Amino acid sequence: MENEFSVLNRMIPALYEAAISPELWKDQLDWLTPILGSQNIVLLRIENIRPEISDYSFHANSWITPEMVGEYLRLGLNHNDGSAYFHQLDLYEFSIGDEMRHRNGDMSPSRFYPWLEEATGCNRAAGMCLLKEPSGYDILTTHYRDDGPFVPDEAARMLRIVGPHLTKVLEMNRPVNLLRHRYGGFLDVLDRLRIGVGIVTAGSELVIANDEFNRIVSTGDSLVLGAGASLSARDDHDGRLLRDAVLKLSRKDGLMTTSESLRLNSRINENSAYLLDLSPLRESRGTFGGQFSGVLITVVDPFWYTDLNVGLMRQHYKLTATEIEIFDAVLRGLSNRDIAEHLGKGPETVKSQLTSVFRKTGTNDRLELVRLAVQLIIPLNDDMDTKQPRINRGI
């Protein structure tokens, strides 16, 4: 037992890595499971204020598949059976089986155990409350079989050692999970539009990103990810500009700033640039309880400009058919001379028509024109609603 406690104490620092990297929970819980002598472990947040996101801190070891989690939540088991009474336990008090449910006079047939046995092959469960607050509570449950090696008293002693640390890590982890829940669907949409979106802390630490953002970073062409998931730029000068902009926008006294834009040149094509729009995450509804201030970054790969919808530009800015042709050629990276040859026009005519496009759209150069087209795809207001499109600010 003494050796197990020693191993547990050595493992505690590693638990804190999961605070900013939720994907590590599976490995950490896989490690803890055999120490407790059980088969499965689940960490669950029961949300009292926003029940529609009560699943935002559901972590489990590798025995629990996403399909099992989906069925568990679909059946509403996180609000029934023993889960409904866990908040009545003292912190880090261990409850075995239906003890708490029966203590409260609920003798109805369990809906939890049929799911548990069918999903995992386990027929018993035990757990403890890790945190109680007005907004909800965190619980840890461990699943086991009657004929398994699980010893409740020994498990309880070990969990009382690691419990406070789990509480702290979950508390640190909660804003990250809220971000993922709130922006997850939005990021998936932008993936399909080939727009990269990431959220960084004041220290430029990337806490959430869609696949397109990760793909752009993985090319190493302009944006790079350093130690501790720190977002920077390949060029040192660009890296300083990016860090300074993030720090400025993430400060509480800077939340009135709408956005900033950066251009990071491509190493692959000197005529191309990555367009970054940075906007502060606002707390007007207190979604993150004042725990998080950061910056939303959108980035467009210059090699995907041709996928932008020129029809939206025509509709909103009353561009003529010829001006749309000019704009489409700009998206393809053609110079004025190339555009003239492509459209069979004189260079001065192309220059004049491009000037007209700039005037109608309120832009000054090609880069601003492309950025405006990107902003037009999914315009957002301060609270991430899309009811009234607004085309004069960054995403």
Residue 393's pLDDT is 24
Of 233, 253, 256, the residue nearest 243 (C-alpha): 233
The Cα 285–Cα 292 span in angstroms is 13
Res. 132: pLDDT tops 70: yes
DSSP 109: P
pLDDT tops 90 at residue 386:
no
Does residue 391 or residue 12 have the better pLDDT? 12
Is pLDDT above 80 for 360? Answer: yes
- pLDDT of residue 356 exceeding 90, the answer is yes
Q: How far apart are alpha carbons 176 and 179 in whole angstroms? A: 5
**Residue range 65-102, pLDDT digits in tens:** 888 888 887 887 766 656 667 777 888 888 888 888 88
What are 214-223's pLDDT values in tens digits?
999 998 898 9
* Amino acid sitting at position 344: G
Please report the pLDDT score of residue 106 as a whole number. Answer: 81
> What per-residue confidence (pLDDT) applies to 168?
85
Write down all domains in the chain, each with its CATH number in brackets.
2-173 (3.30.450.80), 193-307 (3.30.450.20)
The pLDDT mean for the chain works out to 78
Look at residue 384 in the predicted model and tell me its pLDDT.
35
CA distance 175 to 20: 9
Tokens of 374: 């990107």
Residue 210 has pLDDT above 50, yes or no: yes
Tokens matching residue 357: 């496009």
Say which residue, 302 or 196, is predicted with more confidence: 196
Helical H segments across the chain, by residue range:
2-15, 25-36, 66-74, 99-103, 112-120, 152-192, 211-219, 236-250, 310-317, 321-331, 336-343, 347-361, 366-377
- Contact yes or no for 100/123 (Cβ under 8 A): no
Per-residue pLDDT reduced to its tens digit, 32-41: 898 889 999 9
How high is the pLDDT of residue 278? 85
User: In which band, very low, low, confident or very high, does the pLDDT at 330 lie, cut at 50, 70 and 90?
Assistant: confident
Instruction: Please state the rounded mean pLDDT for residues 144-166.
Output: 87
How many alpha carbons lie under 13 Å from residue 229 in its C-beta half-sphere?
Answer: 15
State the number of CA atoms in the 13 A half-sphere of 168 facing the CB: 11
Beta bridge partners of 45: 138
Asked whether the predicted pLDDT for residue 385 surpasses 60, the reply is no
pLDDT top residue among 378 and 115 = 115
* 20 band by pLDDT with thresholds 50, 70 and 90: low
Summarised one tens digit per residue, pLDDT across range 45-60 is 877 655 555 556 788 8
In order, the DSSP letters of 58-76 are -EE-TTS-HHHHHHHHHTT
Q: 142 falls in which pLDDT band (50, 70, 90)?
A: very high
DSSP letter for 393, please: S
